[in-house]
Structure 1
């Protein structure tokens, strides 16, 4: 009887452990309401955190104007939130100098949904993820990977930095904060499973994946081969509509001719790289702009309107997607 009791305890313990593991594995979910008439409007910016320098303040000013005019509901950041080496801790003044004191327009005092970039991983990652920063500025929400449900749309935020081999094999003089990521193989395997499962489970009209690193890009960093190999098959298999990233300090739109995915780069939040461009198939490349700016997006159940803005508030490029007709320029 004692043996049977011990076995029972072990079985129950194992079941509880497996149950807790499955709960932990599921990506954390958040919700954002749509407008009363059933639409979403938001801005997307990346690679910005330079204490207002390299035209960060000017980009923020235009974001505020566009955000007010078009009545946005939230802002998405595609990472590299604090240069050059992330935050040193929750009390780092760079949080105020690069975020709170820069994005001061009333229209930008909405929820910000942020992912980490490779420069953020050179600092204290846990600081950016901490609730302490949320208390300092209630707009701030940053996690490694998570899901945002906004009515008919779902946004899947993916932590892309741990996918890149060179950060582990040839980091140069940089030191990365891999706490919470090691062992890397397990972290990536679980993340890919979680993203795939969440996309399969989703019944959203629009599926948008947000990460820091480029997948298709004609800019400096170009194609991230690790994401092409590991993440793209999941995006294509689950009918993802858009992949939005930063990392390359430019604005880009690449329309994949082999799938429905629109690849949008918005890494022009501050420092830009002029003339750092490589050839890309003109049948796919709809926009390349080697300057600062951001993306505005307005969505309904059946249509999405995408507009790229430069530092002067000029519209550089627009693209409309219809769920009935699929897409047209």
Structure 2
């Protein structure tokens, strides 16, 4: 009888391997195969050289829980920063579990940011977005902390900035997906701001940061409201990369519409993840992401505290930012499941609004370019029950 059971289990396991996609458990080192296992190439880590004209950015999210995972991830990021000299870092929300911060003087700013990412290791600005758990506390305190820290950057609940080196420029648009997810009254204003600023961007690359993912195989699944409202803007306005947290794992997905999705929400907590149709890489492991940006190539790498997990490159025609008529780009990925280079759909962008050499100071910008604060009280605490 036991032999029959063993043969049956072996047969089921063999059949599972015929399917693409898999689900990996995040605890105790077990891998639970629910839809078969999909293999992928490790890829090649890009060579880094100081002052070579490229931009280096570290990306992590959901760092708000004091845990062993978090300490290991932060230590690995510090070691990485020692040789990759990041120009910036992105924090993708849920910066303070479980209920945000109480005020701008809350000790958690020191414990969970200044000490976690010490200035002697991270000599760069951190561009921060809001997560659902941050809304359980005083959201405005996180905005105001920008005036109390040299490295914490959140001038408004949604905002934009430009990163530049000798050879490449990146416009970064940080959005408040919690307000979008909850269909707050400010959502229309925020979306108009995003669309107008994207169409006015003349940078080589356009990145959007938000807490909730649009493409994910993680536990939370995409927010229907966020996906419905943001994905068309990404497609029409030429977004290259959307970076989010919320799901406590590491993922890279290709939308097929010209933009890519990074999920880097494994900064402290950890949950299982799955392959979806658009998945290029997925791993349930604590860790972070590194972006190395050239004018026509974006290198994306994922790391756990002890290992490099995956690296790939996304190519874009350098003519994308030159004129409305030539803004048709082609992205390719290397290090995919098959190891082949796969071309995605062209990047089609509507004609931009009148061009400008650079972003003017916020106080001088036209009204439609200014970042508007949400019409919420300073201590607003929107319920996060729909998404843990």
Same fold (TM over 0.5): yes
Q: C-alpha distance in 1, partners of 2:181/2:238?
A: 24
Per the alignment, residue 206 of structure 2 pairs with 207
2:58–2:288 CA contact under 8 A, matched in 1: yes
Per the alignment, residue 266 of structure 2 pairs with 268
1:107-150 superposed Cα distances (whole Å, 9 cap, x missing partner): 3132111011000010001111114x542x31111231111112
1:64–1:105 CA contact under 8 A, matched in 2: no
Q: C-alpha distance in 2, partners of 1:41/1:277?
A: 27
1:45–1:268 CA contact under 8 A, matched in 2: yes
What RMSD, in angstroms, separates the aligned Cα atoms of the two structures?
1.6
2:301–2:308 CA contact under 8 A, matched in 1: yes
| Other structure's SS at 2:212 match | coil
Per the alignment, residue 310 of structure 2 pairs with 317
Per the alignment, residue 84 of structure 1 pairs with 98
2:177 to 160, 169, 194: 160
Higher helix fraction (1 or 2): 1
Give the Å deviation of 1:87.
0.1
Report the CA distance shift for 1:279/1:251 in structure 2 as closer, same or farther (over 3 A). Answer: closer
Q: C-alpha distance in 2, partners of 1:287/1:231?
A: 22
Give me the TM-score of the superposition, normalised by structure 1: 0.78
1:209–1:242 CA contact under 8 A, matched in 2: yes
**What pairs up with 1:113-192 in 2 under 5 angstroms?**
113-131=127-145, 134-135=147-148, 137-142=149-154, 143-151=156-164, 152-165=169-182, 184-185=184-185, 187-192=186-191
Per the alignment, residue 228 of structure 1 pairs with 227
Q: C-alpha distance in 1, partners of 2:78/2:114?
A: 13
Give the Å deviation of 1:279.
5.0
Per the alignment, residue 97 of structure 1 pairs with 111
The answer on 1:328 being equivalent to 2:327 is no
Report the CA distance shift for 1:162/1:269 in structure 2 as closer, same or farther (over 3 A). Answer: same
| Other structure's SS at 1:104 match | coil
2:274–2:282 CA contact under 8 A, matched in 1: no
| Other structure's SS at 1:307 match | strand
1:44–1:76 CA contact under 8 A, matched in 2: yes
Give the Å deviation of 1:105.
6.2
| Other structure's SS at 1:50 match | coil
Per the alignment, residue 40 of structure 1 pairs with 55
Give the Å deviation of 1:195.
0.2
1:112–1:139 CA contact under 8 A, matched in 2: yes
Q: C-alpha distance in 2, partners of 1:231/1:264?
A: 15
1:219-262 superposed Cα distances (whole Å, 9 cap, x missing partner): 011111101211111110011111100000000011123x1111
Give the Å deviation of 1:57.
1.1
| Other structure's SS at 1:249 match | coil
1:133-169 superposed Cα distances (whole Å, 9 cap, x missing partner): 542x31111231111112321111111001223xx8x
Report the CA distance shift for 1:88/1:164 in structure 2 as closer, same or farther (over 3 A). Answer: same
Give the Å deviation of 1:286.
1.3
Q: C-alpha distance in 2, partners of 1:309/1:231?
A: 28
1:203-223 superposed Cα distances (whole Å, 9 cap, x missing partner): 111111110001110001111
| Other structure's SS at 1:231 match | helix
The answer on 1:56 being equivalent to 2:52 is no
- Structure 2: state its 5+ residue gaps: 1-49, 318-329, 335-388
Give the Å deviation of 1:74.
1.3
| Other structure's SS at 2:208 match | strand
Give the Å deviation of 1:50.
2.1
